[in-house]
Amino acid sequence: MSLPAWSGAFEDLSTVRALPLPGDAREWAWGGSTGAGIKVAVVDSGVDGGHPAVGGVDGYVATVPDPDSESGVRFVDGKHDDLVGHGTACAGIIRSLAPDVEIYSVRVLGENLKGKGALFLAGIEWAIDNGMDVVNMSLSSKSPNLFGPLHDVADDAYFGNTVLVCAANNAPGPTYPSQFASVVSVAATSGQDPYTLAYNPNPPVEFAAIGIDIEVPWTGGSIVATGNSFAAPHVAGLTALIRAKHPDLTAFQVKAVLHAASQNAR
């Protein structure tokens, strides 16, 4: 089986020096947290709020093309379906780790898991403008034309204290915003423990979580899937736990805590 790009970086982990946390790093980081009070946006193909693994969605918005608007994008509020199952998988993974988060479905992808860059960009902007604490993006763009706009919006998130968690592309090559330093970038590694977290001392992709041959929620039930897409929401869920337990942490401090709680940190 061909593994997602960047997975190989986590096969032989070297120890990394990390910020010391009081006592056990993971217990300090998220022990006892349920994610209560934290808003998580799932920027994807939509989320099936009725799926038992998701257990409800707190808000919905879809980005659609609008040639009459200055941005070329219009926001449509109101309940929508998951056009694929991909967004439901991500939301269900987040919910499994952080059961009390508020989940917001931001639909930017169509039935073929494709979408225009302007819709993706607008979805991230909506999440920042609407006070999301964590944004899960199990998608990214290869387009050089989007490098600048996505870099700007990633900076807006960083300085606005919204943590962007982005899956690396499954195929080799740069994609955005996963390669931006302000973003928590994630690749897949093997295993079944949802709390698996490792740090790559040779970025741009920094963190790994499980995402190879794992069971994930999907439209109509569940599937066994592989991809960096399914690793990212594990890290988004852990990020939500950290933010709920330590609400005063800034975005860069949250990344430092994830680093310190990684299995290869000392």
Question: Domain residues of the chain, as ranges?
Answer: 7-260
Q: What is the pTM of this model?
A: 0.94
3-state secondary structure of 209: strand
Residue in 80, 86, 234, 259 annotated catalytic: 86
Helix-strand-coil percent breakdown of the chain, rounded to 5?
A: 30, 20, 50
So what's the pLDDT on residue 1? 60
Q: What is the pLDDT of residue 104?
A: 98
**143 vs 161: CA distance, rounded Å:** 26
Q: Which residues contact 83 (CB under 8 A, 6 or more apart)?
A: 45, 46, 107, 109, 110, 111
Is 44 considered catalytic here? yes
259 is known as an active-site residue: no
**Which residue is catalytic, options 7, 33, 44, 81?**
44
Task: For the beta carbon of residue 170, count every other beta carbon within 10 angstroms.
Answer: 19
pLDDT under 50: residue ranges of the chain = none
The CA–CA distances, whole Å, from 130 to 72, 106, 135 equal 20, 11, 11
Name beta bridge partners: 39.
102
What Å distances lie between residue 102 and 15, 199, 224, CA to CA? 35, 27, 26
Q: Is the dihedral of CA 92, 238, 101, 169 positive or negative?
A: negative
Give bridge partners of residue 167 from the DSSP assignment: 186
Pairing relation of β-strands 207-210 and 198-199?
antiparallel
pLDDT of residue 227: 97
In this prediction, residue 2 carries a pLDDT of: 77
Residues ≥6 apart with Cβ < 8 Å to 230? 89, 90, 93, 138, 188, 210, 211, 214, 216
CATH number for 7-260: choose from 3.40.50.200, 3.30.70.1140, 3.20.20.70, 3.30.300.30.
Answer: 3.40.50.200
Q: Which of 229, 234, 259, 262 is catalytic?
A: 229
Q: What is the pLDDT of residue 17?
A: 81
